[in-house]
Amino acid sequence: MSSMTRADVQTLFDTIEAESEWDLTTPKLWQYFFVDPSEAVLTKAVSVLQLMGYQLEQVFPAQVAAGEAPYYFLMVSKLEVHTASSLHKRNEELIKFAQKMGIAEYDGMDVIDPEDEDDAAE
């Protein structure tokens, strides 16, 4: 599961504030990622996540090295405002969701400023 601590989330916010012109008090497109060796497990989770207000972005296979077992990513998104505390809470909720749904891993998140979708921060 994602090992991003509360301190890591705060560092992310500090970096965004220091290195970008983003106004973190306005909605951003937060993207959340799940990983599982079964595409079917991820696909099953999509409808539940949509009921929770998330938009499906895509389910896609990971690029794997020869001999490596295949696995898949599920990416969902939600336009919302976060603080470091609220994002940390969201990450904890999604870790629990992954466990409940039998998904191998909640893999973390990314953020895009909808005003400038060429800029993404991890």
For residue 117, what pLDDT is reported? 55
- Residues sharing a CB contact under 8 Å with residue 18, sequence separation 6 or more, in sequence order: none
Could you tell me if 45 and 101 are in contact, meaning their C-beta atoms sit under 8 angstroms apart? yes
- What is the domain partition of the chain in residue ranges? 6-17+28-121
* C-alpha 80: how far from chain center: 13
pTM comes to: 0.89
For residue 116, what pLDDT is reported? 75
For residue 122, what pLDDT is reported? 47
Query: What is the CATH class of 6-17+28-121?
Result: alpha beta
Residues in the chain predicted with pLDDT less than 70, given as ranges, are 1-2, 117-122
Pairing type for strands 28-36 and 105-113 reads antiparallel
Three-state secondary structure call for residue 72: strand
